[in-house]
Amino acid sequence: MNLTAIEKRLLNEFQHDFPLVPRPYAEIASSLGVSEEFILEALEKLQKAKAISRVGAVFTPNRVGVSTLAAMAVPEDRLDEIAGIVSEYVEVNHNYEREHDFNLWFVLTAANEEHLQDVIGDIEENTGYKLMSLPLQEDYHIDLGFNLQWT
Amino acid sequence: MKTVQLSDKDGTQLLDEQDKALISLIQSGLPICSRPYQSLGEQIHMTEDEVIARIQRLQETGCIKRMGVIVRHRELGYRANAMVVWDVPDEKVSEVGNCLSQFEFVTLCYRRPRCLPDWPYNLFCMIHGHSREEALQNLEQMIGQCKIESEHKVLFSRRCFKQRGAVYQPEADSEFAGTIAAPRQTNGAR
Query: How many angstroms separate the CA atoms of B72 and A87, rounded?
Result: 18
Nearest-neighbour CA in chain A from B151: distance (Å): 15
pLDDT at B162 over 70: yes
Average of per-residue pLDDT values in chain A? 93
pLDDT at B2 over 60: no
pLDDT at B4 over 60: no
Q: Where are the beta strands (DSSP E) in B76-187?
A: 80-87, 106-111, 123-129, 151-163
Residue B181 has a pLDDT of 32
Does A111 contact B2 at a Cβ distance shorter than 8 Å? yes
Contact residues, chain B, for A84 at CB < 8 Å:
161, 186
The three-class DSSP label of residue B151 is: strand
Q: How confident is the model at residue B189 (pLDDT cuts 50, 70, 90)?
A: very low
Q: Is A75 exposed, middle or buried (0-12, 13-18, 19+ CB in 10 A)?
A: exposed
Phi, psi of B48 (to 5 degrees): -60, -45
Residue B179 has a pLDDT of 29
What are the pLDDT digits (tens) for A92-145? 988 999 999 999 999 999 989 999 999 999 999 999 999 999 999 999 987 777
Q: What is the mean pLDDT of residues B134-162?
A: 95
Does A25 contact B34 at a Cβ distance shorter than 8 Å? yes
Alpha helices (runs of H) in A14-134, residue ranges in sequence order: 24-32, 36-48, 79-87, 113-127
Average of per-residue pLDDT values in chain B? 83
Cβ of residue B165 closer than 8 Å to a chain A Cβ: yes
Q: What percent of chain A has pLDDT over 70?
A: 99
Q: How confident is the model at residue B167 (pLDDT cuts 50, 70, 90)?
A: low
Q: What percent of chain B has pLDDT over 90?
A: 63
Sheet holding A132-134, edge to edge: A132-134, A66-72, A104-110, A92-98, B151-163, B80-87, B123-129, B106-111, A138-139
Q: How confident is the model at residue B15 (pLDDT cuts 50, 70, 90)?
A: confident
Instruction: Nearest by CB to A51, from B35, B72, B101: name it.
Output: B72
What are the pLDDT digits (tens) for B93-147? 999 999 999 999 999 999 999 999 999 999 999 999 999 999 999 999 999 999 9
The vertex-B151 CA angle with A97 and A107, nearest 5°, equals 30
Residue B91 has a pLDDT of 97
Residue A65 has a pLDDT of 83
Residue B13 has a pLDDT of 55
CA-based nearest residue in chain B for residue A110: B168
Which of B42, B57, B76 to probe by mutation at the A interface, max A CB count within 10 Å?
Answer: B76
Does A111 contact B168 at a Cβ distance shorter than 8 Å? yes
Does B115 contact A134 at a Cβ distance shorter than 8 Å? yes
pTM score, two decimals?
Answer: 0.80
Q: What is the mean pLDDT of residues A49-67?
A: 88
Strand B80-87 and strand A66-72: the pairing is: unpaired
Q: Which residues contact A79 (CB under 8 A, 6 or more apart)?
A: A97, A103, A104
CA-based nearest residue in chain B for residue A1: B76
Q: How confident is the model at residue A42 (pLDDT cuts 50, 70, 90)?
A: very high
